Structure 1
Amino acid sequence: MVRLSPSRLHDSLRGPALGSIGFLNEVMSRYPDAISFAPGAPHPGFADDLDVQRCIDRFLDHLVRYEGHTPEQARLRLYEYGPSRGLINGLISEALRRDQGIDAPPDTVVVTVGAQEAMLLTLRALFRPADGDLLAVANPCFVGITGAAGLLDIPVVGVDETDTGIDLEGLAAACRRARAAGQRIRACYVASDFSNPGGGRMSLECRRQLLKTAEREDLLVLEDNTYGFTAEQGRELPSLKALDTGRRVIHIGTFAKVCFPGARVGYVVADQPLAGQDRLLADELAALKTAVTVNTSPLSQAVIGGMLLEHGGSLAKLSRGKAELYRRNLAQLVNTLDRTLTGRVPPGVGWSRPSGGFFVRMHLPVPADVELLEISAAEYGVLWTPMAQFYLDGRGDSQLRLSCSYLDPDQIETGVQRLATFLDKEIGQ
């Protein structure tokens, strides 16, 4: 019987992100009664009122009434493979224009299997590692983008994330160092609103200056806008893509948080023209998709399309109720931490106070590693996520991430009480 040598398998299989995710899943399964601040998943209660068939029927009616299909043709659209570019591009295009001021014609949109495939396709299309292409990321960074880069052997450079966005001077310095080494920063990945895991939000001025830096350094910006919908009404900031006049921004989105993750539907706006050709980057991504997943499930797209249509084609209306719950949960978490931990926890313990998103970052005076997490779960019944896996440079080992999205207020209250006991007895000693 053949036995494969681990050393002959791809290096990405031994990356810290995959190991950490597997460990977290394993710990959660062993301690099902623990309050878990670990998963950044949507609240399960939103699935209670989901009527998948009603959404599909709404989308089929749209195909017949507004796209000229017969009922039989419309049904076949959902049962066949479908175009690699997608079926709901027009609905996404209109929602982006209406809600975010993003001018993204349907032919610039590719519907993907979640945001993760959008990242993978974009990196595969843009990067030639053998030619010295590097990917810059805000540090700490979402493991999905660094994991995708690892699969493609793309070297990653970390640039610090500040309270107001990515460190622009640090990004420019990274570009200079790359040029001096005969390489170049091809693109920079950022989450402009309430990043995962740091929770930071890029200021309007930083957004504008980042676009100027991208122009000056001749790089592209990969914008992940997963958590922008949680911003308080009236305090929204324009996305980088809405500010983009030079087509420097590739905009990545997902319906996982505003609809439901099981649909596995995301999208990418790639309106960059190819020099000397009558083609866009979106055309190249659609071509690559035929070799990866062929197409995004038409049934899943129909459900998402129907949900959009039921809310007047507006992402903002679709996500409003969910955003209110997540803002409530975030406020509950921060306020409970303030009320419960202030004056009680040992010196060196602190936490962030983000204005949106799913995550609060906590600092400890000791390593927040998997051994400490095991103690927290086994003896105190509370789970969290170590932050070290999100850093590229060895920092973050004394930080942890608390997610509030999956919990109810009473669970948050109980979880913080358990966390306080854990900190007092384990860290205090």
Structure 2
Amino acid sequence: MKKENIKKIVLAYSGGLDTSIIIPWLKENYNNPEIIAVSGDVGQGDELEGLEEKAIKTGAAKLIVADLVDEMVDGIIIPALKMGAKYEKYLLGTAFARPVIGKKLAEIALAEGADAICHGATGKGNDQVRFELAIKRFAPDMPIIAPWREWNIKSRDEEIDYAEAHHVPLRISRETNYSKDKNLWHLSHEGLDLEDPANEPQYDKPGFLEMSVSPMRAPDAPEYVSVDFEAGAPTAFNGKKMKASDIIRKLNEAGGKNGIGITDIVENRLVGMKDRGIYETPGGSILYFAHEQLEMITVDKDTLHVKQKLAVDFADLIYNGKWYTPLQEALTAFADEANKYVTGTVKLKLYKGNIIPAGTTSPYSLYSEKLVTFGESDYDQAQAAGFINLWGLPVKVQALRELGRL
């Protein structure tokens, strides 16, 4: 579609550096179109404050804030939790949010009669893929504008220059200009001194950590928490039933103040380059750990091992933006079935960045103290000899062949 034919644009708007300058840039470069800013509320909290006023002052016709927290948690995070999906130790925080935001952008664009959808993801990153695959799934004919693939701006410093020249207010300075992404599940930090893996993260630097404290600054006394699960999904925190998103909020609070879930990772981006990021995932780290503890006693060996293999594929699928696909539906169905008996209570001790098991119970436990005890049991140890003879028969036959005795 030609630029002059684009009269109305739906913009994925966070109010961060990229999207703050995109509104005036679109006005200048696309013949002053009507811009509908859309912010997906995925649990980023106070980042949404003042966003409507800012969007309109910088040229948007209006701001639509879409509550996507529970859709993200129940629809994407819980299936990933059930599968145990991790991408190279990364708990997929940004990747969890992008599909639901992309879907909502497509829905709003169609409802508003927009001519295009615009996003602020860079041409170097993963988010451009995640947004656009979701948009293609729900609005396959919708043109997509990605300014980072068009404009002459080359760096975040130049973005700040543009913002200052166009009187766009920013919440950051050149010294605190980390690229951050926040939602209910996590907060990511990239850029500045973190671009060199040789640099130690400055966890005590004011304004750096937001969801957590450094483990060195965590309390000297441990804190106990418990999480209840039903069929693999969290249902209660410290014995009190609540929806999954509220459990994550409670675990974020408990984990954050105890220095839980801070990871420093160099990951392999989808586009082919390596990238260094610091991630804060306090509640998510606890939830994954608790789920794994409960799986240990409720899931049989074969199912658990296959699920662990498929977890890599499931994490890749999420990371690579392929959430709305038949493969996701098939893997999610497997995860649901594999978690049929993952019901029970997990108690944990949180202490200075550590998650320590403090007891796991389940009505569907496969653990039998009567079988495994070092004391007297009903298990007939003599039967092991026959099992080993059969299990080791191929090894014995190979040895006999080498000795010429077959």
TM range (shorter): under 0.3
Instruction: Please identify which structure carries the higher strand content.
Output: 2
Q: Which has the higher contact order (CA 8 A, sep 6+)?
A: 1
TM-score (norm 2): 0.24
TM-score (norm 1): 0.23
Instruction: Please identify which structure carries the higher helix content.
Output: 1
